[in-house]
Chain A
Amino acid sequence: MALHIQPYRAEHEPAVADFNRRIRAAGEDENLVFYQSATPRWLPPASSSRIHNEFFLAIANDGVHGGYALKTQDFLLPDGQIRSIGYYHHPLSEGIVDKAHAAIGMLLLRDAITRSPLLYCLGMGGYERPLPQMLIRLGWSHFAVPFFFRVLRPAKFLRQMQTLRHSAARRLALDLAAFTGAGWLGTKLFQSYRALTSPRVKRSEALEVQIFSQETQSLWVDARSNCSLTAVRDHQTLRLLYPGSESHLSRIEVRRDGRLIGWAVVGERRHDAKYGNLRVGSVVDNWAFPGESLSIVQHATQVLERQGFDLILTNQGHQGWGRAFLASGYLPGPSNFLFAASRKLSELLEPFDHVKLRMHLTRADGDGLPRNF
């Protein structure tokens, strides 16, 4: 059975529907399906755009047996050059339900590397999952992008956070902390302490905008040397990634004395059982003039507080942004949001352990936009 990996076209859609039915019938997670439409809804290829998303399928004579998505986007690299880099996401192989297809996962990845040797993966759900294990075995460089969270409603958080409530003793202790107010007191004391000990910042104003202003272009140019690796976040890219039509996202511009010093994008995360019925906000993306990250984090946090969220989450690759979130009362948590770079890309990221500290990676660099971040 000869298998070929080729671009997903409209005529393949019925075969993809069959493939999805077979995966579902085998009892896998019903969300674990490949894209039903050959044309990506998010960032479809357009001749005028340097950022786009494409789908590829593993096709044999008897149908489709796997597929993956490849986002192509310009990145600034440590050598100061801007290069087009591929992001490998949503791989799905029939090998997960039928071991006769065990080779397909590897073939999909090899195909993506051939198409885009400068390739990365982001997210992946933790090191125990098959994809990161495969990447490590192939010699990819990797690290877990630091995760931070801030509790806005401590009692609700203690009662709803399912990942903390895995035993009867834990549930009792958390309920006690919630109902006695000890959880609230502890959280507020910690956040007050952080507020008192964090660096002072000069006054600035935040404005929620429908579309990012032209000044984001000069901010991109002025601030990019602070990063070893970052997706291009110029004005054109921001308007493409965060169009005014995405009403579930808030675009925040922060100014001091009328001058733009940074921006952030925040929004509500999709419901996830592990958070119970908490309303979870996310700092999806952010950018600032060097030294101004703390102001941006504070304003982004205030916007999410005003929107009534119970908990705020974020992932931040750059250590400077990590420090700003910690100084703003966020806590670090275990991260399952992994970054992995192909061997070709890793060659441009040497020394990796040093370079990774200034990689500007956020949820926006993953597959979560426009709604699942």
Chain B
Amino acid sequence: MNSTLEQVQAIACDIFGIPSARITADSSPETVETWDSIHHLNLVLAIEEKFQVQLSPEEIQEMKSVGAVAVLVESKLQSSAR
């Protein structure tokens, strides 16, 4: 099974419309041209749907890079598994 980071990268590729080779854990709004407010919303909704989690406003603010999103999702999944 793909790691959380790989799954988040796949979602990001789809949302931002760029090849997977160009999405890394460091990819952020500063480095991805199409990462604007609408695509940020799309990313949040896609993450919530894919991982069946609900993101709080504080957590949405933490989504500053693809790697940060993966860490956030991991932590949400772990806390819900407990």
Contact = CB atoms under 8 A, between A and B. Distances in A.
B60 A106 contact: yes
B29 A100 contact: yes
B57 to A, nearest CB: 5
A111 interface: yes
Given A3-B61, A95-B36, A99-B35, A105 B41 contact: yes
Contacts of A111: 57
A46 interface: no
Interface residues of B, number: 18
- Among B36, B58, B61, the most chain A Cβ lie within 10 Å of the Cβ of B61
Interface in A189-218: none
A95 B29 CA distance: 10
A25 interface: no
A102 B61 contact: no
B37 A137 contact: no
A134 B30 contact: no
B44 interface: yes
A106 B37 contact: yes
Interface residues of chain B: helix, strand, loop or mixed (majority): helix
A93 B37 contact: yes
Nearest to B59: A103
Contacts, number: 59
A96 B36 CA distance: 8
Given A99-B29, A99-B30, A100-B29, A134 B61 contact: no
Interface string A121-150: 000000000100110011000000000000
Contacts of B40: 95, 102-103, 105-106
Nearest to A1: B61
Interface residues of chain A: helix, strand, loop or mixed (majority): helix
Nearest to A139: B45
Given A99-B29, A99-B30, A137-B45, A107 B38 contact: no
Contacts of B44: 103, 106
Nearest to A105: B37
A2 B58 contact: yes
B42 interface: yes
B63 interface: yes
Contact of B41 (A1, A2, A100, A106): A106
A102 B36 contact: yes
B41 to A, nearest CB: 5
Interface in B52-81: 57-58, 60-61, 63-64
A110 interface: yes
A103 B38 contact: no
- Among B35, B42, B57, B58, the most chain A Cβ lie within 10 Å of the Cβ of B57
Contacts of B60: 103, 106-107, 110
B58 A138 contact: no
8 contacts: A99-B36, A103-B37, A105-B38, A106-B37, A106-B40, A111-B57, A130-B37, A137-B42
Interface of B: 29-30, 35-42, 44-45, 57-58, 60-61, 63-64
Given A103-B63, A130-B37, A130-B38, 16 more contacts: A1-B61, A96-B37, A99-B29, A99-B30, A100-B64, A103-B61, A104-B37, A105-B40, A107-B61, A130-B36, A133-B38, A134-B38, A134-B41, A137-B41, A137-B42, A137-B45
